[in-house]
Amino acid sequence: MTREQRRLAAIASVDVVGYSRLMGKDESGTLAALKAIRREVVDPRIATHGGRIVKTTGDGLLLEFPSVVDAVRCVVEMQTAMAVRTAEVREGRRIAFRIGLHVGDIIIDGDDIFGDGVNIAARLQEIAKPGGVCVSSRVHDDVRDRLETAFEDGGAQTLKNIARPVHVWRWVPRSSSARATSAPSTADVPLALPDKPSIAVLPFQNMSGDPEQEYFADGVTEDIITELARFHELFVIARNSSFTYKGRSVDVRSVAGELGVRYVLEGSIRRAAQRIRVTGQLIDATTGNHIWAERYDRVLEDVFAVQEELTQSIVGAIAPHIRDAEAAHVRRRPGSLGAYEFAVRANAKAWEAYAKADRALRDEALADARSALAIDPDSTIALNAIALAQCQQLPLGIAADRQAVWQDGLAAATRAIEVDRNGNVGHTWKGVLLSFAVEDKHRNDALGHARRGHELNPYDSLSLMMLAFVEINEGDAESAFGHLEQALRISPRDPLRHFMFHQLSRACFITRRYAEGEAHALAGIREAPDLPLSYALLVRHRVGREDIEGARAALAEILRLDPNHLDRWLRTSAPPGGFRIAEHHRRYDVFLRVAASLEDPSAADALR
């Protein structure tokens, strides 16, 4: 058996930007110009720096170099010379290269080369800027102390058909960076997906046949773009770019590729007399799947009020679905993860751990979040995931060192606010954590932070839910009812809908609305029948209604789903945090003990 030939090499992939467009405009002139560039710019530099041309295509070259330093010198000199050479060529006829450079192990087959290193170089070339060079971190590490070439950190990028993210560095000639970036048309320059969920909102179509309704359709679109931008975890394409597609029949996948986004929101508006119908659908352009769709029918009395209400409903509804879809993307990804993927996975696991009361999942969430921070210390998603995961241990007092857990969560939330002062989620989690503080001097700030989180993004159902959570802890049930109803209104299909019903049930408990609270607990169970969360409230409300047998049946269901639930609660007789008003906590505790036959039912009589 012939032994496979391998060697370590620097591989450069060179591509002509917009080759088909250039050939379509002037085939003979383009070929002549490319031959001259090869002869006068490209080939001499390859020879000078000890490289070789492995193969050529109509619009590109594959180069191999024994030295990564020489490879970087060669491609930088090549692009610098191209910038000078084409400076006076008008835009429509200007030839520009994109170059990707990687160093890795390659397989030798005659004069040709193969392997992962070749594939990565080709994918780096695809995301390089016109006139620029995109290199892997492996190349950058080898040359940064040997050359004065300045690279810009491009972060971890997901490359097509490459299993693991690649950290990239970019270089563009300083004298021509703006021109080189804008030279080709958008369609000629595929954009890499950002390291966060990305979305474009296409102009909503006016289906009324009345040109006067264009203003309403445009207004709804513009408001949605503006309000989505409040979600700092989203990358939202600006209005001016989205509106270039107005009035055009477009393919969603093509639009997503041209704008460099994963998600596209499109919709239509139809008016008949004083009624208006708005439809919207959110599409994952990487798969073509519809991940959300809804229809809204409204009476058009106050145009601006309806426009605001529709905006609130659409934005509030799609944001949680994007979060859920991102978590699903990460779960499907093979290979090693980057900071963003670790952070998204940590957040998803933290929520699952909370719902299932699963300590192992919570520990995994914390580990993933810390892995993300090791790569990107300013990852607010990871910091907020730590805050979420740590505050879960506080209501039942199950942390081995409660103060250490509380301080770790609070430090993470505080750091998230420092990194992004206008981000709402950091304030939200800080408010929740402060509501579990032992000392009143800390606890007094809980509502202020929770309210600030809501003010920064009124359309975020998460901030609404957690503001209500803090309000219930502080004893303000009436305000909590309003915020939870608003959350259900703007996000009626929220993945955390069961949590909303759970909080409504908590608010009912502190106001002694036991029958209503039982109904909300049952609604939460219908949403998530395999999660023990809402059964805990069902037990208490049934004791409150003097249905002891029903309470014991609900407790048995909790123990089927979570055998350690009762033991965890009873391990400490008065776990700190949660309800601030002592009577609320005592009633919550006694009602469980009655259901568990640890106290006589008469113990609940005086508390009902």
Residues 70-89 as b/e (b if ≥16 CB within 10 A, e otherwise) read: bbbbbbbebbbbbbebbeee
User: Quick one: 31 and 169 in the same domain?
Assistant: yes
> Is residue 1 included in any domain, yes or no?
no
SS3 113: strand
User: pLDDT, tens digit, for every residue of 18-40?
Assistant: 877 787 777 888 888 888 888 88
Which stretch of 73-82, 184-193, 523-532 has the lowest confidence by average pLDDT? 184-193
User: Quick one: 183 and 206 in the same domain?
Assistant: no
pLDDT of residue 596: 93
CB within 8 Å of 384: residues ≥ 6 apart? 347, 412, 413, 416, 425, 426, 429
Which stretch of 4-13, 325-334, 376-385 has the lowest confidence by average pLDDT? 325-334
User: Quick one: 204 and 304 in the same domain?
Assistant: yes
User: Quick one: 208 and 87 in the same domain?
Assistant: no
User: pLDDT, tens digit, for every residue of 438-461?
Assistant: 777 778 899 999 999 999 988 888
> Is residue 231 included in any domain, yes or no?
yes
> Is residue 431 included in any domain, yes or no?
no
User: Quick one: 156 and 277 in the same domain?
Assistant: no
Give mean pLDDT, residues 196-201: 88
Q: Are residues 157 and 131 in contact, defined by beta-carbon separation less than 8 angstroms?
A: no
Please tell me the total count of domains within the chain. Answer: 3
CATH assignment of the domain containing 524:
1.25.40.10
d(CA 119, CA 282): 32
> Is residue 409 included in any domain, yes or no?
no
User: Quick one: 202 and 183 in the same domain?
Assistant: no
> Is residue 193 included in any domain, yes or no?
no
User: Quick one: 239 and 311 in the same domain?
Assistant: yes
d(CA 131, CA 96): 5
**Distances in whole angstroms, Cα of residue 427 to Cα of each of 229, 399, 431, 448, 540:** 17, 23, 6, 9, 31
**Across the chain, what does the average pLDDT equal?**
84
**Distances in whole angstroms, Cα of residue 525 to Cα of each of 531, 541, 557:** 7, 14, 11
Which stretch of 245-259, 424-438, 508-522 has the lowest confidence by average pLDDT? 245-259
Give mean pLDDT, residues 458-465: 88
> Is residue 427 included in any domain, yes or no?
no
**The last residue of a domain, from among 325, 346, 379:** 325
**The last residue of a domain, from among 305, 325, 345:** 325
User: Quick one: 16 and 154 in the same domain?
Assistant: yes
Residue with tokens 């300045």: 150
Type of residue at 531? L
> Is residue 476 included in any domain, yes or no?
no
> Is residue 391 included in any domain, yes or no?
no
- Which domain, by its residues, includes 294? 198-325
d(CA 17, CA 130): 7
**The last residue of a domain, from among 188, 221, 255:** 188
- Beta strand pairing status for 133-136 and 166-171? antiparallel
Which stretch of 299-303, 347-351, 544-548, 570-574 has the lowest confidence by average pLDDT? 570-574
Type of residue at 239? R
Residue 244's CB: how many other CB atoms inside 10 A? 13
User: Quick one: 308 and 233 in the same domain?
Assistant: yes
User: Quick one: 295 and 179 in the same domain?
Assistant: no
pLDDT of residue 2: 60
User: pLDDT, tens digit, for every residue of 359-415?
Assistant: 888 999 999 999 999 988 988 889 999 999 998 877 755 677 888 999 999 999 999
CATH assignment of the domain containing 99:
3.30.70.1230
pLDDT of residue 336: 53
- Count helices and strands (H / E) in the chain: 27, 14
User: Quick one: 150 and 237 in the same domain?
Assistant: no
d(CA 74, CA 85): 16
CATH assignment of the domain containing 315:
3.40.50.10610
pLDDT of residue 183: 36
**Distances in whole angstroms, Cα of residue 112 to Cα of each of 61, 106, 551:** 12, 10, 74
Residue with tokens 């915020």: 483
User: Quick one: 135 and 232 in the same domain?
Assistant: no
